[in-house]
Chains A and B, each alone.
Chain A
Amino acid sequence: MVSATTAKVLRARRMLRRSLVGAALVMWGVSTLADDAPMQAPAAPQPVAERVQVLAARIVVRAAPQREARALAEVERGRQLPVLAREGDWFRVRYGTTPRAVGWVLRERGAYDQATVELLDGVAPSLMPALDAALPESSPLGVARPGGSTVRAPVLPLIDPSQVSPPAPNLPRESVPLPDRWRIMQALGFGFPWFDPYNQNVLKGDLPLTRFGPDIFFNGIAVSDTLFEYRTLPNPVPQAVSFRPGANDIFGRRQQHVVATTLLAGFSVVRGNTTYRPPDWEFRILSAFNYNHARASEAGVLRIDPTRGRGRQDEFVGIQEFFYDYHLRNVSDRYDFDSIRVGIQPFTSDFRGFLFLDQALGVRLFGNRLNNRLQYNLAWFRRLEKDTNSGLNTIFKTPRHDDTYLANVYFQDFPILGFTVQGTVLHNRNRETRDHYDTNGFLVRPALVGDVQPHAYYVTYFGFSGDGHLFWLWDRLRLNLSTSTYLALGRDDRHPIAGRAQRIFAGFHASEISRDFDWIRLRANLLFASGDSDPFDGDANGFDAIFEAPQFAGADTAYFIRQGIPLIGGGAVAFSGRNGILPSLRSSREQGQSNFINPGLQLYGVGADFDVLPQLRVTVNASYLRFMNTTVLGVLRQERDPHREIGTDLAIGLQFRPFQNQNVVLNASGSMLVPGRGLRDLYGPDQGPLYSTFANAILAF
C-alpha cells in the first residue's frame, strides 16, 4: 500500500540534480569530495603507503619528481600503482612488471577539481563492485540520509577500471536541452511506438501530459480476462416442473459450465513525481464489462424460474474503482506521509484476504511512519451491491446497509527482521432489514433459511496477522510464515435459525509455513474456523468473515474454495461461497449477510509451487477438510448430524507467462474434491468426486 522507499529516493534525487544523464554513483561520490572537502596537502614525511590509484583519465609517469622530467609512460584511470617513495605530492611508483618500470607521478588537481591520483589506505583492490554496500556504516563514505547523522568526512571511492569516463559538463557539445527529465531517451534519438507499454509511454504514466503540466501523468489500464470453467456440483431438481422424466429425487445431475469474459478499462491521473515520492493526488476510474454464459444440467439452478431453461446469459457493466486520493502531507524528510482516499477503492484487510477484500465505497486515511516501517489505515467502507452473475459493483443500486469501520497498523521487521506484523480492529455493522433478491430471482437477504426474518448484526473483529521470513529466528530452516488470527465478538439481534438474539463469539486462525528449495516452494497450511454447536442457544460460535477472498491453500484452484456447494434440502444456502473458504451457510458470498451459526472448518493442507520454467509455474495442493460441528447442518436438513469429514481436496494449477511478465498470463487448473463421510452423508455415498476445472487468459495493457 504505502510504498515510498525514501532513503533510496532521496539519494537518487540529489544525484539527478547534478547529472543530466543519470550518471553513476561514483561520480556523485567524487563530486561530493570536490564540493565538501577541498584537497588537503598531505603531511610529510609519512610511512610509505602501498598504493596510489589513478583518478584522472590518464597521467604521465616521469623519470624524476619534476614536471619537466622525462616522461616514461602514461597510466590510465583506475590503475593502482605500488608506491615506493614519496616527496611532497610526488610519488615514486612501480608502473610495470619489469624492474625498470619505476617513475614519479604527481598528485594535483585535475579536471573537475579532481585529484589526479589518490593514496589508497590499505584497501584491497578487489572490492570494486558493491561500492556502497561494502562500506560499513561507520565508513566516511556512508551516505548522509536526511534526518540521519551529520555529513561524514568523505573518502575516495574505489573506481571501477572498466567504467566509462564521466562527461564533462563544461563542454557545450555534451549538453542537450530537454523538456523534462522523462524525455531523455527521445532527446537522444530513441523513438517508441505510442502503444508500446514496455518503453516510456505517455499512456502508461511514464511521461507527463505536458499540456496540463510538467507533473500530471496519465495511466491507462486495459485488461481482458476470459474464463472457461467446467464443474460438477450437487444440483437440485426443480420442484415444480419436470424437464427430465424419471428424475424422481431431490438431487439431480451435477454438471455446470461457465464461459465468462471481463474487460477492465480505466485510467488514473496522477500529479506528482511519479517515481520518487508519493503523488500529490490521484484520480482513478476503473470500469468492467462482463459477459457470462452459464449452463447447468438442471433447470431452476441458475435462474429461479425453471421454465427459462438451463442456460443463462448475462452481461453487466460495473465500476470497480472510482476514487480520489489526496496526499495530505509529508511528516518526515523520508516522505513518511498521510493521505486520504475517497470513493470506490480496493482494500484488503490482511495479507491473505481472509476477512475483507473488496472494492467498496469508503473513505480511507492512510500513511506511514518510521521511515515506512509502520503503515496505518483508518477507514470506513460501505459495501456496494454486487451484480449476481458477474460479481461486479452495481453503482445504480443503493449501497448496502453494511458499514465497516477499521483501524489497522502494519509494522515491518517486527519482532524480527524480514517479518511484518499487523494488528486490526474492524467493526462491521449490518442493518439490512429489507428483502433483497438477486438478479436470478433468488432471495439473498435475508437468506432463505430459518424463519427468514430480517436481522441486523454488529460484530467486531480483533485480528493479528503476520507475514514474512523467519530467517532471523531460525536461520538454517529458512522458513516463511504467513498467519492470521481473528476473534469475532458481537451480537445478532435475531438470528433466523435460532429465532433469538445471539451473542457472537467466534475465532479463526490460519497459518501457512513455507520453505523455498531453489525453484520449489513447499507449503503447509492450517486453518481453523470455529463452528456452532447448538443453533438454538443464545450463542453464535461459527466464524464468518465480512467478504472473504482467501489466497490460501490453493485459492481458486482448489475445489472447496472455488466452488460454492449448495446445501440442498436445508435452505437456499451454500457451504462456502464461490471463492470463499468458510462454510458459513450464506445465501451468497457477494450479496448475503454474514452467518455466525455455521459448522466451522478445519483444514490441513500441503502444497508446492514448482517454477518449472521461467515462464511456467505449477502449483499443487492437497487439503483435508473437516467441519468443526455439524449440528446446524443436521438441524437445517432435519436429519442426523452428518459426519464432520468434508473430504480431500486435490488441486493442480498451471500458470504460463510466455513473456515472463503480467501482460499475458494463462492459467489452467483442475481440482477434485474426494467426498469424505460428511459429504457422503449429505449427498450420497455413491456420488464420486466433484470436479472443478478452468482455463483463463488474462491480457493486460
Chain B
Amino acid sequence: MDEREALHLCQAGDKNAFAVLVRQYQTQVLGLCLRMTGNREDAADVAQQTFVQAFRHLVQYDPDQPFRPWLFRIATNECVNFLRRHKRAPLPADSETLEAVSDPADGAPALVDLAEDRERVRTAVAQLPLQYRQVVVAYYFQELSYQEIARQTGLPIGTVGTLLHRAKQQLRKLLTEAEVNQGEAHRVRTDAAVPGR
C-alpha cells in the first residue's frame, strides 16, 4: 500500500492503514522529537502523541499537499507544547547579553572549536529557548531551507534568519560557558590531586 492510498483510507477512518504511515515516518519524527526534547523517553512520548494528533486531524489534511511537512508541523507543535507544559523552555537572553558574546567577525570564538564535543553541543541546543531551538534543529538537523522552516514552524520567513543568527550567538555563549566550567572543574581536580597545594 503506498502513502497516497494509505492516506485515503485513513481519512475514511481506517486505523490499520495509518500503521503504514506510522512505520514510514516514525524514525524521522522520533529524531526530530529527540533533538527538540533532548531525551529519549520524552521523544517517544511526543512522537506517539504526534501520530495520534495527526490521525485525529487527518480530515483537515489536503491530499494534494505533501504529507511530510504537514506531519512535521504537528510534531514541532507537539514538541513546543510538551516543552512549555514541562517548563523546559528558557527565555531568550536579552540582546545586550547576546551582543556581549558577539559574532566571529568581532573576535568571538569559532563554533567549530567549541563544537568538538558533540554531547556538549546537544546539551547546549537543549538549553536554547524554544524558538531558537526550533530553527536550529530545523536548519542544521533536518537541513530545511528558510522557507521550509517558516512553513513548519509558522514563523514569518524574515524572522527565521534573525532567529537563526541569534540562536548561534546564544549557542556560542552556552558553549563558551560550558568550556570555562569544564576548565575550572579540571583545575580544581588537578589542584586536589597535587599534595601540599
Partners in one complex: no
Q: Residues of A at under 8 Å CB distance from B?
A: none
Q: Residues of B at under 8 Å CB distance from A?
A: none
